[in-house]
Structure 1
């Protein structure tokens, strides 16, 4: 997919989605994130197939648990109006738990939709969430995000497709009242107060870019009405700015002042012109400063005021449409869709079915953040209501089934990546127990998927599995299987670890090493120094790493069970089971810190590095023009073929174009013709290593892009040498002298 959500196709009769609806480009691929920072000679990451795992199955945790202690950073967050970046590091330990309201738990038989997208009971309500608050808290999260709860009023003659859309809440009519099919205003207040009493923040879903066609019939408490001139499609209408700005400012502040909610998740945030996000964010911050509530510790605090944007695009569009610029900040946080793609590509497959990539692909994901301004605080999720669950992606890639130990081990590995991530994170209900739609991979049929409930964009909207809570009125209480309970326990341990070690959520990240199998990072926040090591493959590994490489002068103390690792002759030997992520306290950090070795230069050698090669007449052996097509600024998410990124033929089967990169950035790309009849990228969709000649191959179809990180501004030559059969060759990106 090309990340883009359409504005109103969701409201059309017969629409197949309730909230996503991305448009597809010619290649249809999910754009993977940019490049690896390279490898370090101080680490020997060889896989030792002969290493025993001590008889512990890869899918078990051996009962390790980490006891939560509230860190100083987490305690301070209560008194701030929003998560922000201080001294270049995140200051936010939010761990959100997303609930799809109509699909979650049914506990009120008077509040049912009885229709909707996906395979759930379609009877979910606020009372079901209230009943589940203790279980939600037990997963280790500290915040709750509800999909839209505002009233959607049927229009005359609407069909079931429109009613299904109403059930999602994403096309509301009355923004100032709870939909009676979810509950009441009083019930929402009960939910918010109950969550706050348990130490959970509450975030509502703000849809400020579109609404139902009859929304203008409902006047705000201050007498405002929505416009009626925006583009209409089906039962939906686009908002108009600035005409609708004051109305949505009133919406955004009303629920903070009257219900003490802690902020907003912002649906399709790119629909709101970026300059108006500062107005909305400032209004929410001001409202939060004017009210307070008593938190779980008995402290009087303000609502947090956090706002996080959903922008389905590459990093450059997320920056321009969400974050704004350093000089003119818009929003402070947005979901990290590019990093999520890198995560599932590495430990499962992305929605296109491509994946099971090298561990170094995680570093490529992190490099996307080079495209963001300094104030940006990305939020990482594994799944949401528009995406395929991680377990179903494992099935799609034929990587594991629920009866396999690798199913559970890969889940634990994915959650370990989230635990290591700097900034807020979001868990989707059911992922913490490995929930899936049974047989999903074998049931795909795009022609009838909306009727059968197995579309990609709502396959994850399944009835909830909450330990000890009946999923529907009158049903027996849910009892998790041992494997489900074990995964949930492991997730809670990771969240407690994250809470206790501010370096994880709020620390600076130093990338130590990555290769096909292993990924190593160091996280630092003051005196808290944590080493994260992941084995992303199915073979046990022993990683030998120099103490100087990670800045360790003594033992590594295991933080989630397992044995400590001594420093012996200047090295640590770390044993890892398949798909195991381990965390260590660096007990004796060196004054010098990690010494990862010098990075490679940005200017290469040889004919592919020339920036002044003369152009030869003609189109060369390919017989057609090729362009750099990608997610760069001005690239229209792979849609554009700009002249300043068109290759010229240089002779000897070499094609080149010199591109000015005016700032540090990151993006994904292919070398492709205008009609997509030829598509080329680094072989295996590996990231570009600047100044290195890399193998190139055909890259037709989704998920075959390569990623690139530009670490400094300047002119770069993009070159490729096509082979004799026109199906591969070599490529290079090199900085011009």
Structure 2
């Protein structure tokens, strides 16, 4: 075959091959499959059909506004498929543009392949932007409620008529509604009532109304909860997940409870890599089934329904170490050591601290958490069993004041972080663990009535209502409003108790939380006690005390935060003044120790105040009683505190008679903390304080005993304290002169050692404690 013939044959073969290839390429792919791989209705370049699934043929879509222009297109699964659209009945081809009307728009995509066909429908409507506000009220009252809505502006305004206001309209399930006039904004107040001659009203007579400060267009006020909700609290809700404990250290004997509320339709979870079988309601998982001692694992939970999805994730560490503390869990036994974090101690191994703080010149400002940790043995040896830290929450980004104010800690911007100037969360956890290892509680300073630039969400999505809010005192208004902030601060106390095993709370300017005729300390105390009890029931040792003490700086008879079953302890400023001044000599001590709270002016039942001699806002006791000339009189005052039936607090430095510096009246006591290098008199008073508080820890009669008072003239007080539960009996003798006192039996001198019988020699201003046989 010649070359030309070969070339013709080759070209003919190539043509056949190309022809066959073309036939193969044009054969239909997925013929008979009338589904779509992609459906796009694009508005401003964005596909409004989100989450497209080929097997889902109907979609409801909302857009911000109508009319709008959209493009429509689809990609069929089969290569031989035909695609066509209709928009509100008007036929269009694939890859077309259409204008949607102001009403509901129906876009239909028809797909055909072979003998198969299918239809996809997209309904497009505009979001309904609701205007105006509506209140919903449920009080289970005997008659239809009214709403009297007004403002405290000058002049005052009435928005829905004069008293008793406007009658609400009955809805369903006991709810009543009222549409608010536009002028009734978030500053307006409402008093719910049952009419001119009705007997029911909330808030009660002479109390201001409830602020209409709910978010959004609807406010639901459930009287039993005494707070606003943004949706019907009794209606359908997105699932909610509550895990207790929420994270952190757990024992092998512990049980983690997972509560899933609001009827989730899909639930999943895992712990330490193992799948969990969970259901709506309460689920319990045993730590020992998932973690070995010392092992760490992550717990994840997800729950969803048609209204949304809730998710949870946290890390747990199993620690079966048992610390024998010797503590009873009765907060009357507290011997608290208060430290001002910024001025107490600085450790070079910790955070840098602040450089300035409100306080006396020439004294430490850069104290840190690590410094407190390194002083724990000193505090323990002093006979203390608890530490109150001034606030350690993050104040570094606050908007109020300069660094001097931020360094005090009393104006936080984030209640879920440790201030980085003081240390890290890890360093705080180390402090708590080391204190617990020594049998000491940790008490945090909670400032829940004012803040500085705290605008972020909590881990659970709660916020601070940061409007100025009048309080029961009528002065010193804070910038935290209740009940809008209640959920946030309930979460705060639970977070630190569950995640860091915090044992108690000192509460700054606590009268600020009594607002609108309601003492919200009742609600917060219920939450603290609930967390403490949950932890007890799980077998936890720490984070179970639930101690709360308020600072309501006024005389006993004017204290309000104990009303409405609120706080059960407050700082005893009257008691402090009595013991510091001793206007009747040791007779002032006898009266104080033998008088219960009611006879000292506290009006509400079940209140046991916390006694102290100084704190960070007052002058020091050492300013009134000189360590150099009258060390014994300092010893007397500390002995009186140690013999008190109830919580006792010692401000750092008072154990050595420290004096205030040259600061302002409310910050001059923030002197540099010292734990060594004492003078002879300082060491003498320090050692005596350690003895009386050690005696307090070993004798329940001293911290909870009943009192029998015997006066010998005006210069000797014999206080006999007896603990009914154990029979422990201690005689405390306070004298202004050298004397001998009959004790009517035999006992042990628990401060000086040795057995005494019949009579006891007492040195002037140096009390003795005798434990009777």
| TM-score calculated relative to the size of structure 1 | 0.55
**2:719/2:733 contact within 8 Å kept:** yes
Structural mapping, 1:574-593, within 5 Å: 574-587=760-773
Question: In the aligned structure 2, how far is the partner of 1:515 from the partner of 1:458?
Answer: 40
Residue in structure 2 matched with residue 127 of structure 1 by the alignment:
370
1:294 Cα deviation after fit: 12
Question: In the aligned structure 2, how far is the partner of 1:558 from the partner of 1:271?
Answer: 46
> Are residues 1:434 and 2:642 paired?
no
Going from structure 1 to structure 2, the CA distance change for 1:230 and 1:140 (only over 3 Å counts) comes to same
Q: Which one of 448, 457, 466 corresponds to residue 666 of structure 2? A: 457
1:432 Cα deviation after fit: 1.4
> Are residues 1:403 and 2:628 paired?
yes
Question: In the aligned structure 2, how far is the partner of 1:313 from the partner of 1:141?
Answer: 27
Residue in structure 2 matched with residue 77 of structure 1 by the alignment:
328
Q: Which has the larger radius of gyration?
A: 2
Question: In the aligned structure 2, how far is the partner of 1:107 from the partner of 1:514?
Answer: 50
Residue in structure 1 matched with residue 342 of structure 2 by the alignment:
102
> Are residues 1:287 and 2:531 paired?
yes
Structural mapping, 1:407-426, within 5 Å: 408-426=631-649
**1:171/1:236 contact within 8 Å kept:** no
Going from structure 1 to structure 2, the CA distance change for 1:584 and 1:482 (only over 3 Å counts) comes to same
Give the secondary-structure state (helix, strand or coil) at the position aligned to 1:96. strand
Deviation digits for residues 165-223 of structure 1 (CA, Å, limit 9, x no counterpart): 111111111111111111111111111111111111101001111111x11x2211111
> Are residues 1:560 and 2:751 paired?
yes
Question: In the aligned structure 2, how far is the partner of 1:566 from the partner of 1:304?
Answer: 39
**1:74/1:499 contact within 8 Å kept:** no
Residue in structure 1 matched with residue 233 of structure 2 by the alignment:
none
Going from structure 1 to structure 2, the CA distance change for 1:241 and 1:294 (only over 3 Å counts) comes to closer
Q: Normalized per residue, which structure has more helix?
A: 1
Question: In the aligned structure 2, how far is the partner of 1:98 from the partner of 1:125?
Answer: 14
Q: CA RMSD in A?
A: 2.8
**1:260/1:292 contact within 8 Å kept:** no
Q: Normalized per residue, which structure has more strand?
A: 2
Q: Which one of 567, 571, 586 corresponds to residue 359 of structure 1? A: 586
Question: In the aligned structure 2, how far is the partner of 1:363 from the partner of 1:558?
Answer: 20
Structural mapping, 1:667-682, within 5 Å: none
Deviation digits for residues 346-391 of structure 1 (CA, Å, limit 9, x no counterpart): 1xxxxxxxx5x43222344454722334411221111111111111
Q: Which one of 354, 377, 399 corresponds to residue 608 of structure 2? A: 377
Give the secondary-structure state (helix, strand or coil) at the position aligned to 1:77. coil
Residue in structure 2 matched with residue 275 of structure 1 by the alignment:
519
Give the secondary-structure state (helix, strand or coil) at the position aligned to 1:176. strand
Going from structure 1 to structure 2, the CA distance change for 1:423 and 1:162 (only over 3 Å counts) comes to same
Residue in structure 2 matched with residue 141 of structure 1 by the alignment:
384
Going from structure 1 to structure 2, the CA distance change for 1:155 and 1:241 (only over 3 Å counts) comes to closer
1:237 Cα deviation after fit: 4.5
Going from structure 1 to structure 2, the CA distance change for 1:409 and 1:294 (only over 3 Å counts) comes to farther
Going from structure 1 to structure 2, the CA distance change for 1:182 and 1:76 (only over 3 Å counts) comes to closer
Give the secondary-structure state (helix, strand or coil) at the position aligned to 2:628. coil
Going from structure 1 to structure 2, the CA distance change for 1:99 and 1:316 (only over 3 Å counts) comes to same
1:556 Cα deviation after fit: 4.7
> Are residues 1:331 and 2:574 paired?
no
Question: In the aligned structure 2, how far is the partner of 1:292 from the partner of 1:361?
Answer: 40
Structural mapping, 1:677-696, within 5 Å: none
Going from structure 1 to structure 2, the CA distance change for 1:339 and 1:566 (only over 3 Å counts) comes to same
Residue in structure 1 matched with residue 738 of structure 2 by the alignment:
540
Deviation digits for residues 150-176 of structure 1 (CA, Å, limit 9, x no counterpart): 1114456x6xx5321111111111111
- Gaps (5+ residues) in structure 1? 1-72, 84-91, 347-354, 395-399, 441-452, 468-478, 588-737
- Gaps (5+ residues) in structure 2? 1-323, 471-475
Q: Which one of 421, 427, 438 corresponds to residue 181 of structure 1? A: 421
1:563 Cα deviation after fit: 6.8
Question: In the aligned structure 2, how far is the partner of 1:171 from the partner of 1:514?
Answer: 50
Deviation digits for residues 542-589 of structure 1 (CA, Å, limit 9, x no counterpart): 44x5x6xxxx4x23542222775543xxxx4x43222121112333xx
Question: In the aligned structure 2, how far is the partner of 1:293 from the partner of 1:433?
Answer: 41
Residue in structure 2 matched with residue 343 of structure 1 by the alignment:
579
**1:260/1:291 contact within 8 Å kept:** no
Q: Which one of 475, 480, 495 corresponds to residue 254 of structure 1? A: 495
Report which structure shows greater RCO (CA 8 Å, sep ≥6): 1
Give the secondary-structure state (helix, strand or coil) at the position aligned to 2:609. strand
The aligned length equals 434
Question: In the aligned structure 2, how far is the partner of 1:228 from the partner of 1:454?
Answer: 31
Deviation digits for residues 29-86 of structure 1 (CA, Å, limit 9, x no counterpart): xxxxxxxxxxxxxxxxxxxxxxxxxxxxxxxxxxxxxxxxxxxx984624xxx63xxx
Q: Which one of 682, 685, 708 corresponds to residue 510 of structure 1? A: 708
> Are residues 1:489 and 2:489 paired?
no
Deviation digits for residues 586-623 of structure 1 (CA, Å, limit 9, x no counterpart): 33xxxxxxxxxxxxxxxxxxxxxxxxxxxxxxxxxxxx
Between 379-388 and 309-318, report the one with greater CA deviation. Answer: 309-318
| TM-score calculated relative to the size of structure 2 | 0.53
Give the secondary-structure state (helix, strand or coil) at the position aligned to 1:377. coil
Deviation digits for residues 307-362 of structure 1 (CA, Å, limit 9, x no counterpart): 111111111223xx2322xxx5222222222111110011xxxxxxxx5x432223
**1:359/1:515 contact within 8 Å kept:** no
1:509 Cα deviation after fit: 1.2
Residue in structure 1 matched with residue 47 of structure 2 by the alignment:
none
